[in-house]
């Protein structure tokens, strides 16, 4: 049986740099990789789960509370 290890979460957004800077400041983490524009990785210096932040030109944020016909939150495993 193979063991799985959860190493990261990927967040889509409109501006990867802005979101990466926000989370880096919030958690006190450094940017560990990526292309610096549309894909940025943050790693937990303690070895925990990191963040992968992906910027997409077409990104539309979900709405809350839910509205008919609007994007909703989702999670993929």
Q: Tell me the per-residue pLDDT of 46-68, one tens digit each, with 9 for 90 and over.
A: 988 999 999 999 988 877 777 77
Whether residue 17 contacts residue 40, with contact meaning beta carbons closer than 8 Å, is answered with: yes
Helix, strand, coil percentages (3-state) for the chain, rounded to 5, are: 15, 30, 55
Q: Which of the four pLDDT bands, split at 50, 70 and 90, describes residue 71?
A: low
The answer on pLDDT for 26 being more than 70 is: yes
pLDDT score for 27:
95
> 24 lies in which domain range?
1-6+18-77
The answer to whether position 11 is within a domain reads no
pLDDT (average), residues 6-19: 92
- Torsion region of 36: left, alpha or beta (phi above 0 gives left; psi -120 to 50 gives alpha): left
Report how many domains make up the chain.
1
Q: Considering the domain boundaries, does residue 13 fall inside one?
A: no
Task: Name the pTM for this structure.
Answer: 0.77
In a domain, 12, yes or no: no
36 vs 52: which has the higher pLDDT: 52
Residue 68 in any domain: the answer is yes
**Residue 32 lies inside a defined structural domain of this protein:** yes
């Amino acid at each position: 049986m193979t063991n799985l290890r959860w190493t990261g979460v990927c967040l889509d957004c409109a501006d990867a740099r802005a979101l990466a800077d926000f989370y880096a400041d919030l958690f006190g983490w450094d940017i560990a990789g990526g292309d610096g524009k549309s894909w940025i990785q943050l790693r937990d210096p303690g070895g925990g789960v990191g963040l992968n932040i992906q910027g997409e030109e077409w990104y539309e944020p979900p709405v809350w509370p839910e509205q008919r016909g609007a994007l909703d939150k989702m999670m993929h495993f």
